Amino acid sequence: MKIGVLALQGDFDQHRKALARVRLAGEPVESVEIRKTEQLDEIDGLIIPGGESTTLLKLMGDWGFVPALEKFHAAGKPIFGTCAGLILLAKEVDRPKQFAFGFIDVDVERNAYGRQRESFATPGVVELDAPRPLEMVFIRAPRIRRAGPGVTVMARHRDEPVMAREGTILVAAFHPELTHDPGVHEYFCRMVARRRTALPPA
């Protein structure tokens, strides 16, 4: 099993470090930086990191990633988006409005946690396969303003959803790659592993 981290812009290196701490049944997980669409064929799941969603979108457009990711998603391969990655995977994006893939039925508002509090860390609890305490780091984070009925909310901050899953799509408004706990990455790898065994061989 191999996990790709989209490495066009943003904190992809931290995600690779988090993946390096993951153990699935005692085994490490292989990861690779993705810069070309052809590489998507080699991986079983993809992480879209935080960064600047407008810049990421531009680079993805330049390098043909929009149709390539639509194909990747249609093939049932899981995608995990953090912060800017969440913004890209959402259905509607506000402030300002911009293109999003619409792979998960949530609407987000960019940079919506207020100026003075652009970045903060707070203790929280995430519902992985069991509830787990986790420090949640928010950096100019988007706010999930709406989550559709098919979406499972996995963590909240002040009663608002900050982590969610729908089918093969996992999103977080915060940055689990910036804490030492690899729990969220481990959860995503389990999603990918389960999906992989469920898919017919290529």
Binding interface with ligand GLN (CB under 6 A): 50-53, 83-84, 87, 110-111, 139-140
Task: Provide, rounded to whole angstroms, the least separation between the CB of residue 111 and ligand GLN.
Answer: 5
Least separation in angstroms between residue 138's CB and ligand GLN is 8
CB of 52 to ligand GLN, least distance (A): 5
Select 44 or 69, whichever has its Cβ closest to ligand GLN: 69
* CB-CB neighbours of 181 under 10 Å: 15
Instruction: Determine the distance from the C-alpha atom of residue 70 to the mean position of all C-alpha atoms in its chain, rounded to a whole number.
Output: 15
Nearer to ligand GLN, 45 or 81 (CB): 81
Alpha-carbon span 80 to 165, nearest angstrom: 9
Q: Which of 15, 175, 186, 189 is catalytic?
A: 175
83 is catalytic: yes
Residue number with CB closer to ligand GLN (78 or 142): 142
Joined together, the tokens standing for residue 201 give 């061989």
Conformational region of residue 126, where left means phi above 0, alpha means psi within -120 to 50, and beta covers everything else: beta
What are 152's two structure tokens?
Answer: 């499972």
Distance from C-alpha of 145 to C-alpha of 110, rounded to nearest angstrom = 10
- Please state the φ and ψ torsions of residue 174, each to the nearest 5 degrees: -100, -175
Compare residues 24 and 119 and give the one whose CB is closer to ligand GLN: 119
- Output b/e per residue, 41-53; b: 16+ Cβ within 10 A: eebbbbbbbbbbb
Active-site residue among 15, 73, 166, 177?
177
Catalytic residue among 83, 157, 166, 185: 83
Q: Nearest approach, Cβ of 73 to ligand GLN (angstroms)?
A: 20
Catalytic sites, residue numbers: 83, 175, 177
